[in-house]
Amino acid sequence: MKPRSIAFLALLFLLADLSAQGSSPDWYASSGLSGRYDGVKAELQALVSSAERAGIPPELLLARMVEGGEKRVDPARLVLVLTRDLDNYSKVLSVLSALPAVQTRDKASLIEGGGIALRSGMAFETFRRALLTAAGKGVSPRRAIDALIAVAAVDSRLALDDESEGRLALSLACSAEKVERFSSLSSLFVRGKAGKIGNQDLVGLAVSILDGGGGFLELEREIIRRIK
């Protein structure tokens, strides 16, 4: 069995155990983290407890712990990364709490999605403003966060400035493009960049097309035309 499959099974057992027992310290024994991470067990436990107190589903942190264990991340670094994750999740939750439309069942995946966007390097203020503005325009939090993740993926490679990120995320969230295609945005931008179209130009082009009711098909056509 592959290590990834083992880690996944371990996570399933862990989550089942957690839901049955609350967040008792027994979760650690079934997490697969024993041994290498014993030295930071207290810190990990404290993080899980903090997540629970803040209203953040602890399985989000546990999943990241298992991921870190699978990658054999240094224990001190794992604590550092998880502390940052917890901070990001708390920030995302604070924004989501201001939105009336968030269903409890969606909360965990929305917090996780927001955490991915912030972890990719998006500034919290950019994230907050884009999410609230999109929600104010009637965009669902799920769609808005998926747009933010797509833009954060672009930023992680092409280093957009904060203003460009916000404009692009808002345009994408409010656009007619299908959510399933959002992830292609980073591929489209890399295509344009390789064709010597600058970041500002690409963002301007995408915003203009998306705001005008167009989608990725139109954006792709225009990028290719400019490269030629």
Partner 1 sequence: MKGSRIQLAVCLLLLAQARVAVAETDIDLGLSSDLAGGTLSPSAVMGIDTGFRLAGGEGRAFALDFSAEGAYSLLDPWFSGSANLEISAYRMSGPANLGLRLQTVAVLPATALPGSLAFALSLPFTLNGPGLSLSLAPVVSIDPLDTGYGSFGLDSGISFMVGNLVLKPGLGFALIYPWSGGTILSFKPGLTAAWYPGIPLSLEISGEYRMSTGDAALPVDALELKGSLAAAPVPWLLLTCLASSSMGSLTTESSLSLEASFTLARKDGGRELALPLMLGYESSAAGTGISLGLGLRYIF
Q: Does 45 bind partner 1 (CB under 8 A)?
A: no
Q: Does 218 bind partner 1 (CB under 8 A)?
A: yes
CB of 172 to partner 1, least distance (A): 14
**Contacts with partner 1, 157-196, as mask; x by CB under 8 A:** xxx-x--------------x-x--x-xx-xxxxxx-xxxx
User: Binder to partner 1 among 17, 26, 43, 220 (CB under 8 A)?
Assistant: 220
The pair of structure tokens assigned to 25 is 């310290």
Residue 87 or 201: the one with the smaller Cβ distance to partner 1 is: 201
Residue 90 or 184: the one with the smaller Cβ distance to partner 1 is: 184
Q: Does 123 bind partner 1 (CB under 8 A)?
A: no
Residue 33 or 206: the one with the smaller Cβ distance to partner 1 is: 206
Q: Does 209 bind partner 1 (CB under 8 A)?
A: yes
Q: Does 116 bind partner 1 (CB under 8 A)?
A: no
Q: Does 221 bind partner 1 (CB under 8 A)?
A: yes
User: Binder to partner 1 among 153, 169, 173, 206 (CB under 8 A)?
Assistant: 153
List of residues 6+ apart from 15 with CB closer than 8 A: 59, 62
Report how many residues bind partner 1 under the rule CB under 8 A: 42
The pair of structure tokens assigned to 86 is 């917890």
Name the residues that contact partner 1, by CB under 8 A: 153, 156-159, 161, 176, 178, 181, 183-184, 186-191, 193-201, 204, 208-209, 211-218, 220-222, 224, 226
